[in-house]
Chain A
């Protein structure tokens, strides 16, 4: 048992080596936490979720926790804080939840990192970190199945004649950034209309109220025959068969933008990591096992997720993604915030 603990702590130290402060804290608290971790977790894990119950994030969370709970031998209790584009959840999590490794945040890195670009939160961003990515779901452009727009070029051509209304789930969303990038490249005019949530965004396109919509492709695949995908914001169209063989942004327009993803991930207080390194190590390790567990993909599929998009990521992958999306978001800040 103690060998296991030591190994996982070493692993943890390597992964967080970037932060000297963290390192110091870990050594300082290591002895105490070791004893505490023995009984961890002795009650439910509480997960703050930034969307409403029943949405994509919620389903993904349930799928992960259905596997993860067996590794941790405890239940996961989600608490939903929709509103202000996920901001509420982060503020609640950082402001009201104890940094004790029992409280986690399950978020969508893309849209939520873009929030901070538009308006800084009240807490210090360095006090929060993502540590476990579940999936990477690229955003895409889609129209209703019987739309007169057959290709992305049709849309761009029309967008040069008049401003097109584009349904998006939130302003500060990778998909919104993606379509703004298309506009920047081609000179087409796009008017982003936030429809709060994936269901509404699909509905916006299907009912014809919007000229087209942008959204994460998982939700578009779930919409089935009702919609047709015209462009994917990823390095390759992993799900080409289900996304109408749509081209990718960089291929089609010769741009060089990072993949625009919805990347659902667990985050945690840095203070909790420092105070309870053993608990955190256990979380990291069991999380990785859970995502890579053969039982996870079927659970994820059952939860209407796209198993092909399952893509484990640790602290490092999460940090890299955060940097890229933050930089791109800053480029379109004025259009996302409504302020010049």
Chain B
């Protein structure tokens, strides 16, 4: 297929025709993004039964739109009530909330929306522009190289585990071990299946996903009165449209700031394990460092809001690059997309752009169009966005259980998969309650079988000689990059610990290494 301007124009128009999916998804994403602890990942899992039944394009566009807009939605409670909707918005309240306190909440929302949308648009265009080069990767990635690439993905476990390395590694290796259940990739010998036929094909990912994330969450969430911990009454904003326009003007005036910080987001997003939370703190930090008025940061200074918001939206497109080009998910949402795509028969990774370029580019085009629609639809509505409804866990939790278990049933229509999701739910619950990361287990379950497949290929080709893993120049370069990348989270941790904690530190931002 010819990848030229016409291709992109057609793709753009084609994606536009899916407005009926995109617009509702944007609103849904905004709302769920605004509910703390309720990320795009949750929503996609809960709506999994629908996502799986939809056509692959529709499902993908739905997920992308939801993902992008929930990122923006997460900024709303961060600004208004000082509670970031997700870890990625953890730096948003630093200057956003002081603006609300000084009666400029409406302005802050407008700034956040403009920064998010422009940041997202810009980085998506860059990602599309870089794709033709990145897509060629497919020709050079053989089994040996893919072994290293999979280790990149698995290194995500190490960065998730930054808080307690041993426990993180236990969770990750346990996941890899669970991921090894099933028939061996060469001679199809069944292994570790407990005698269940349903395991021959490996551990079905959707029940694992549903159990580890949603069921365990539903069991935990009943501890709170409502999903949104109501810290204080959201102050009704009586200001006029004028505030919104002032906010937009401020944001546009800082266009260069948006550009620069969204680029930081893009770059950080590409690195597995370094997610929106890291990006927004890096952006915030460098914004203050290079500012002429660093003393104003933390007091409701617009650039302090622009930096994290444009950066965490830059991450959104960045995260998808390793997913699509290499087939390794950069975070929980990407992992879920990967699972859904695999279910739909689309294998992400180096071959995607060779086998199915329309879908590969389509992902970024969907994101571009989503941001475009957001610009048009959200801005006029920003006034009303502050009215976040409270949803009681009493009704949410059983609903999550019921819907997600249905979701685990849909792909193969096995009752077994529902029980399996429940079993993973218990594992996930124990893990969360005792300080193990469910994301680390999931990454293991997803990447374990892929790693094994590529490794076996490489070993079979060399008649079992392990040194084959170090005989390719490209692989050796990748090995070096891997080692460097592995040290990245630790460097970031040091970087973070040097940072002065600003006043009015928002709650719920301990977990900055959990990428959503």
A contact residues vs B (CB 8 Å cutoff): 52-55, 79-85, 87-88, 91-92, 95-96, 115, 118-119, 163, 165, 170-172, 191, 193-196, 199-200, 203, 207, 209, 336-339
Contact = CB atoms under 8 A, between A and B. Distances in A.
Contact of B185 (A87, A118, A196, A337): A196
Contact of A83 (B142, B201, B345): B201
B463 A84 contact: no
Give 8 nearest A-B pairs by CB, closest first.
Answer: A83-B201, A84-B183, A53-B345, A54-B345, A338-B187, A209-B142, A84-B200, A88-B200
B395 interface: no
B186 A199 contact: no
Interface string B238-254: 00000000000000000
Given A84-B188, A203-B354, 19 more contacts: A52-B345, A83-B202, A84-B183, A84-B201, A85-B188, A91-B197, A115-B188, A118-B187, A118-B188, A163-B463, A170-B188, A171-B186, A191-B463, A194-B186, A196-B453, A209-B461, A336-B187, A337-B187, A338-B189
B183 A83 contact: yes
A195 B200 contact: no
A207 B349 CA distance: 15
A287 B187 CA distance: 34
Nearest to A337: B187
A87 B183 contact: yes
B16 to A, nearest CB: 26
Interface string B87-131: 000000000000000000000000000000000000000000000
Given A52-B345, A88-B200, A337-B187, A193 B463 contact: no
25 contacts: A52-B345, A55-B345, A81-B412, A83-B182, A83-B201, A84-B182, A84-B183, A84-B188, A84-B200, A87-B188, A88-B200, A119-B188, A163-B463, A171-B186, A171-B187, A191-B460, A193-B457, A194-B186, A196-B185, A199-B351, A199-B355, A203-B351, A207-B140, A336-B187, A338-B189
B186 A165 contact: no
A79 B412 contact: yes
Contact of A95 (B142, B186, B197): B197
A195 B202 CA distance: 17
A244 to B, nearest CB: 22
Interface in B449-491: 453, 457, 460-461, 463
B413 interface: yes
Contacts of A337: 187
B216 interface: no
Given A171-B187, A191-B460, A338-B186, A91 B200 contact: yes
Interface in B177-203: 182-183, 185-190, 197, 200-202
Contacts of B460: 191, 193
Contact of A88 (B186, B197, B351, B463): B197
B143 interface: yes
Contacts of B185: 194, 196
B200 A87 contact: yes
Contacts of B453: 196
Contacts of B345: 52-55, 80
Contacts of A96: 197
Contacts of A200: 351
A60 to B, nearest CB: 15
A52 B342 CA distance: 10
A83 B460 CA distance: 19
B299 interface: no
A79 B198 CA distance: 14
B344 interface: yes
A108 to B, nearest CB: 15
**Candidate in B187, B355, B413, B463 with the most chain A CB atoms within 10 angstroms:** B187
B20 interface: no
B455 to A, nearest CB: 13
B139 interface: yes
A196 B454 CA distance: 11
Contact of A53 (B138, B200, B344, B461): B344
A138 B140 CA distance: 30
Contacts of B457: 193, 195
A85 B200 CA distance: 10
Nearest to B346: A54
Contacts of B187: 118, 171, 336-339
Contacts of B188: 84-85, 87, 115, 118-119, 170-172
B233 to A, nearest CB: 50
A337 B354 CA distance: 33
Interface in B273-319: none
A88 B188 CA distance: 10
Contacts of A53: 344-345
A119 to B, nearest CB: 8
A165 B143 CA distance: 13
Nearest to A122: B197
A299 B253 CA distance: 58
A163 B461 CA distance: 10
B299 to A, nearest CB: 56
Contacts of B138: 207
Interface in B190-247: 190, 197, 200-202
Contacts of B189: 338
A104 to B, nearest CB: 16
Contacts of A92: 197
A194 B140 CA distance: 19
A173 to B, nearest CB: 11
B201 A81 contact: yes
Nearest to A52: B345
A52 B139 CA distance: 24
Given A171-B187, A194-B186, A203-B351, A88 B344 contact: no
